[in-house]
Amino acid sequence: MIIRQLPLGQLQTNCYIVGCEQTREAVVIDPGDEVGRILSDIEKYALTVKYILNTHAHFDHIGGNAALVRATGAPLAIHNLDLPLLKERGGARYFGFEIPQSPEPDRFLRENESIRFGRHSLAILFTPGHTPGHVSFYERREAALFDGDVLFAGGLGRTDLPGGDLAALISSIRDKIMKLPDETVIYSGHGPTTTIGQERDVLLAYG
């Protein structure tokens, strides 16, 4: 499986291009900014984008939605509980940023469903807490988890923004993320990769 991690924009938010080596079908997860860089990698690896996926609708994860949809024609997918945040441009103005208005999603993401591209399948995990409609994507055969702003290397996603809920975030991590195998690689929305095994101690501080 092809995995390209691109830290984009002023916040260096990780965008992921995930592709099938055999069919060259791909998904783009959280195109926050610098769509030219995303398109350059798509062309470099001769990929066809089948879906554009948002783990959640904060501005640094959705800022490139409009341009990438125009460039690729791929459908956009997000959880319905984050639709109000998507329509509010992800709270960009709250932080002094301006981003283009995202298109309406073509598909709502639901737990226990999957996103298929080529020979790969991303299971949708509902992981609220950072935002009400946050989701993560798990590729079991490749032991890869794309978890947005749920769990980072050495820390948790913030819950002090509108819609944040610390208890819900802890529950998402305990009930969904930490039940995955220790060798699962976490590709988070910010910072370096880590593994489930390396992050099991993170929750000890929260009881």
Distance CA 109, CA 115 (A): 9
For the chain, the first-to-last Cα distance in angstroms comes to: 37
User: What whole-number distance in Å separates Cα of residue 46 and Cα of residue 175?
Assistant: 37
Query: CATH number for the 2-206 domain, one of 3.40.50.300, 3.60.15.10, 3.90.1310.10, 3.90.650.10?
Result: 3.60.15.10
Edge-first strand order for the sheet with 48-53 is: 2-8, 13-19, 25-29, 48-53, 76-78, 107-108
* Full-model pTM: 0.96
pLDDT at residue 206, rounded to an integer: 66
Digit-by-digit pLDDT tens for the chain (207 residues) are 999 999 999 999 999 999 999 999 999 999 999 999 999 999 999 999 999 999 999 999 999 999 999 999 999 999 999 999 999 999 988 888 899 999 999 999 999 999 999 999 999 999 999 999 999 999 999 999 999 999 999 899 999 998 999 999 999 999 999 999 999 999 999 999 999 999 987 766 665
Q: Where do the domains of the chain lie? A: 2-206
Q: Which two tokens stand for residue 85?
A: 């945040």
